[in-house]
Amino acid sequence: MLFNSPVFIALFLPLAWCGYRLCALLGTQIAKIWLIIASLCFYAWWNTSFTTLLCGSILFNYFIGLLIIRLQSYRFWQSFVLISGVTLNLLVLCFYKYLFSILQALRGAGLDVPFIIPDVAFFLGIPFVTLLHFPLRIADITLPLGISFFTFTQIGYLVDCKGNAVKDKQFPDYALFVTFFPHLIAGPILYHREMIPQFTNPATYRFNFDNVVLGLAIFLLGLAKKVVIADYFAVIANTTFSHVDHLSLLQAWSGTLSFTLQIYFDFSGYSEMAMGLALLFNLRFPANFDSPFKSTSIIEFWQRWHMTLTRYLTNYLYNPMALWIRRRRVARGKNISHHALTTVEGFGALVAFPTIITMMLAGIWHGAGLQYLVFGTLHGLYLTINHAWRIFRSKTARKAPHAIVQRFKTAGNIILTITAVIVANVFFRAVSVNDSLLILHSMLGMNELYGYNAFDAPPGLIEQWLVQDNRIHYIHNPYLSPAEIANIFSIVLTFLFIWTMPNILQIFSPYTPSLSIAQTPPSAFLRKCPSFILGIIIGLIAILGILNLTNNFIPFIYFKF
Amino acid sequence: MTQSYETVPKMQRFSIGFLGTFIIGFGAVWIWVASNFIVFMDRGYAMWAAKMQIAHNCTMGRLAILGDSRPMADIIPPLVGAGVVNLAFGGVTAVENYIFAKQILNCSNLPKAVILSLTPVSFKKIGKLVDQAAYNGLLTFSDLEDIRNHTREMNYGPYDLDFKQDIELRVKEVGYATRFPPYYFSQVKDAFISPHAWENKEVFDYTSKMYGWFWDFMPGNPFGHSHAEETGWDDFTPFPFSDYYLHQLLALFESKHIPVYFVAMPYNEDSFQIMKPEFIEAYTAYINSVVKQYPGTHILGPLFSSIPWDKCYDSYHLNPQGARMYSERLRQLLNSSHVEGGPYIADPEAIGNVNW
């Protein structure tokens, strides 16, 4: 079920919310159970068979967690159980996410590789009917919705169990922590320690009108971002990325920028909808999105984009890896002080290596394609260069320039950061590395500057051409078409909107809608803006969001991860 | 959450502003959308609305024409005769015709006879068209419930859906029934970018004046000499769902003692020439077998005939000249067959309004 579908908004959400309020009157445990059932129904709506997988995963991790806590005084066995639990979680994730891509690639290379055992496949939720059609095709394997998110959430829980950070061991709390529908499919990735205190607090189950209004406002703002802006750019981006073989410079940039804006508003919209939904149930999520296109460096970008994934990777991947490297260096008698970072060897070992490896893994977390590895590696390199710049640049360059120069410098930094992100996004969106290179080729102006406008053909005409001789005819148009002008105009306008408008965390900062606060405090203008006027503006945007509900029906980008 | 003393009244002001704007604003949009369909829907809707109004006002006259887009485009009522109304809708099947016939038969002044014309293809269509009819307000939520119930009884058809699809469909249908604005907002946007309220009004008036006829296609012949889909068929077996509703439709008229004349629209000459005999035989056998079960139902004219290409718009529909020619041919056929409500004499006043 999608957050932007009529069935979710008109049926599921009102039912889940009203049921929750009624159950909360009867008792907190009943309310929790209601929310768990509602969340499982939400998940089962997409595919009932995978609900077994989700429930199995929850039970497995809950008992592994209990075992880890029990083995507190047996460090070896505790580590053994933790490693086994994490490995099993990762194996299931890899099974769905990577195994079939790898097998298919191997078969493509002419190797005779075996397929899975049917019983295992059935247990894990692959519809039985597909097993009758051997050899199994990659198209038959459906990625369980949100598997990356609920697996990561639970691995984090297991690690926290070992770190003695888990106090509450009640199963309903744990089950609700994993299944709570606003974050189940696409995050944010939550920590046990930030949600359980809320679940156990009786105040959570009391009716709070302010939170309901706030939640509704944030949810509808997120909806408007998704259905009005993201879905508009999705159409342009989809057209561009499905015709990569012959793009003009203008089309390539227009398509890539459109995708960049699509994913920006798609993810921003999703994160806000999730935050708003949690607030409707009197719960607060950590912030997941904080105007990343206002970042002046790629390091800052990752502190503002998919923030819960960044902190997860930092805490559970980068930090352990960096710690391991430091210990090894200490064991070998090497320097690990700040001075060591200023040497190329020290920087390479202590910063570049863990950064690049972390980002490469973050890249392939998105999918099995090589393009995701390139995406992650690029971001790893960007971060490394950014860190190197901070460490190695001359002292004179660190001096604060004149205010006007500083403004230009900030603008330049923002543009440089966004350009780097855009280039990486080409790999993120394209279906292969080859397609990505073709687009980058066009973006560098290796084809025409502008003028090929097969996409602007009247609807249905391209299909007719395809029917006629199975290929698209490109029409040379020496002028910019109205559609191209409209694209440029909308892209410029949207970037101006991003750079000038406050985000949800800033707008609602007096009401603390999230567990985190905005990195940039709200402007004086926003602080002085009357709440009533703000309410009217957001009310109007909310109407726009609801009215566009059935517009295109494009799923959230992060739903497929 | 801990709220400071200052933020509480601020939140109240925000809530009033937000909820007030949202409820009043969305409510106003909803009322406007529900009461102004003719302003923002496309011109196809204007034609639907005119026909629905004829049915609603019970001004069916002597002879009502039911069917799909072919009789809709091909039969000009004033050329067939005074008191003839064209109540055929584009893209519909026996299902929508059955529901519409039920509405017509609620009137006190019933037509003397009915012409029913359904293309073979319409017996093999599912789902989407019912959706269009619901979207335009021809089918109500209870009509759709009836269709679903019948389908379940038959254990077949487009509404033989799983639980999830069933719920999603019902949510959508409630949205149509209540004219929930999101379902119509894309049309509102189009109308805002390119206003066509005046054009819709003209189409509505014209269709009403022409007793249900409006030639609603683009000028020219965009598809060239394309062939009807049936030319590729070797056999004919209707979907049980369509067959069921055809029987329901004929039984309904039978119960009201209104004779039904099944008329087949002509094909373009290219399609006609390559139509496979096996298909012609199977389709003819099917229609004959259905008609035989209802004494009040007859076949009028040939089930397969042709018309020159210069009188056609595309593989199925005639152009206005073709429609004129066919309507005159139909009038002769009605009179020679002594169809109830005759004699049929062309209405010269109304013909004067046709823009050839």
Indicate yes or no: CB of B185 within 8 angstroms of CB of A548.
yes
Over residues B339-344, mean pLDDT: 85
Indicate yes or no: CB of B182 within 8 angstroms of CB of A11.
no
* Range with the poorest average pLDDT among A146-160, A241-255, B72-86, B312-326: A241-255
A38 and A145 belong to one structural domain: yes
Instruction: Render pLDDT for B3-50 as a digit per residue (tens, 0 to 9).
Output: 444 444 678 889 999 999 999 999 999 999 999 888 888 888 888 899
CA distance A351 to chain B (A): 39
pLDDT at A475 over 60: no
Angle at A466 between CA A461 and CA A470, to 5 degrees: 160
A202 and A327 belong to one structural domain: no
Is A366 a residue of the active site?
yes
Residues 6+ positions from A520 with CB-CB distance below 8 Å:
A290, A291, A294, A506
Strand boundaries in A129-261, DSSP class E = none
Plot region of A109 (φ>0 → left; ψ -120 to 50 → alpha; else → beta): alpha
A201 and A322 belong to one structural domain: no
Give the C-alpha separation, B215 to B317, whole Å.
Answer: 10
The residue among B312, B233, B229 whose CA lies nearest residue B269 is: B312
Indicate yes or no: CB of A531 within 8 angstroms of CB of B10.
yes
- Residue A476's SS3 state is strand
Over residues B210-225, mean pLDDT: 66
- Domains held by chain A: number: 2
**Is residue A65 within 8 Å of residue A157, measured between CB atoms?**
yes
Give the C-alpha separation, B336 to B338, whole Å.
Answer: 5
Cross-strand partners of B262: B116, B299
Give the C-alpha separation, A289 to A506, whole Å.
Answer: 12
Round the average pLDDT of chain B to a whole number and report it.
85
Over residues B107-126, mean pLDDT: 88
Domain containing A120: what range?
11-206
**Is residue A491 within 8 Å of residue A261, measured between CB atoms?**
yes
- Choose one of A174, A206, A238: the last residue of a domain: A206
**Which pLDDT score is estimated for B153?**
73
Indicate yes or no: CB of A539 within 8 angstroms of CB of B16.
no
Over residues B112-139, mean pLDDT: 81
The residue among B164, B148, B134 whose CA lies nearest residue A12 is: B164
**Is residue B25 within 8 Å of residue A539, measured between CB atoms?**
yes
The whole model's pTM is what?
0.85
User: Which residues of chain A neighbour B164 with C-beta distances below 8 Å?
Assistant: 45
Q: Does B175 touch chain A (CB under 8 A)?
A: yes
Closest residue to B17, CB basis, from A210, A511, A533: A533
User: Which residues of chain A neighbour B19 with C-beta distances below 8 Å?
Assistant: 213, 535, 539
Query: Is residue A343 one of the residues assigned to a domain?
Result: yes
Q: Which H helix or E strand runs over A270?
A: helix A249-280
- Choose one of A185, A206, A227: the last residue of a domain: A206
Give the C-alpha separation, A190 to A109, whole Å.
Answer: 40
**Which pLDDT score is estimated for B156?**
57
Report the chain A residue with the minimal C-alpha distance to residue B187: A551
Give the C-alpha separation, A345 to A358, whole Å.
Answer: 19
pLDDT at A252 over 60: yes
- Phi, psi at B159, each rounded to 5°: -100, 20
A42 and A173 belong to one structural domain: yes
* Range with the poorest average pLDDT among A294-298, A373-377, B160-164, B299-303: B160-164
**Is residue A287 within 8 Å of residue A453, measured between CB atoms?**
no
Over residues B179-202, mean pLDDT: 89
**Which pLDDT score is estimated for B129?**
57
Indicate yes or no: CB of A543 within 8 angstroms of CB of B25.
yes
Give the C-alpha separation, A474 to A245, whole Å.
Answer: 11
- Choose one of A180, A206, A232: the last residue of a domain: A206
**Which pLDDT score is estimated for A426?**
95
User: So where are chain B's domains?
Assistant: 11-351
Burial zone of B218 (CB within 10 Å; 0-12 exposed, 13-18 middle, 19+ buried): exposed
* Range with the poorest average pLDDT among A447-461, A464-478, B271-285: A464-478
Count of beta carbons in the 10 Å neighbourhood of residue B284: 16
pLDDT at B147 over 60: yes
**Which pLDDT score is estimated for A167?**
79
User: Which residues of chain A neighbour B13 with C-beta distances below 8 Å?
Assistant: 530-532, 535
**Which pLDDT score is estimated for A215?**
95
Size of interface A-B (CB pairs under 8 A): 105
**What b/e string do you get for B88-113 counting C-beta neighbours within 10 Å, with b at 16 or more?**
bbbbbbbbbbbbbbebbbeeeebbbb
Give the C-alpha separation, B123 to B68, whole Å.
Answer: 11
Burial zone of A325 (CB within 10 Å; 0-12 exposed, 13-18 middle, 19+ buried): middle
Report the chain B residue with the minimal C-alpha distance to residue A552: B186
Give the C-alpha separation, A546 to B180, whole Å.
Answer: 10
Burial zone of A340 (CB within 10 Å; 0-12 exposed, 13-18 middle, 19+ buried): middle
**Is residue A298 within 8 Å of residue A379, measured between CB atoms?**
yes
Structure tokens of B66? 């039911």
* Range with the poorest average pLDDT among A436-450, A490-504, B190-204, B292-306: A436-450
- Phi, psi at B190, each rounded to 5°: -60, -45
**What b/e string do you get for A403-426 counting C-beta neighbours within 10 Å, with b at 16 or more?**
eeeeeeeeeeebeebbebbebbbb
In the sheet where B113-117 sits, what is the strand order? B84-86, B63-67, B113-117, B260-263, B297-300
Count of beta carbons in the 10 Å neighbourhood of residue A506: 19
A196 and A304 belong to one structural domain: no
Structure tokens of A268? 């921003």
Give the C-alpha separation, B356 to B354, whole Å.
Answer: 6
CA distance A46 to chain B (A): 9
Helix axes A433-443, A249-280, angle to 10 degrees: 120
pLDDT at A105 over 90: no
Round the average pLDDT of chain A to a whole number and report it.
84
Number of residues that make up chain B: 356
The active-site residue, picked from A183, A306, A366, A379, is A366
Confidence of residue A14 (pLDDT cuts 50, 70, 90): very high
Q: What ipTM goes with this model?
A: 0.83
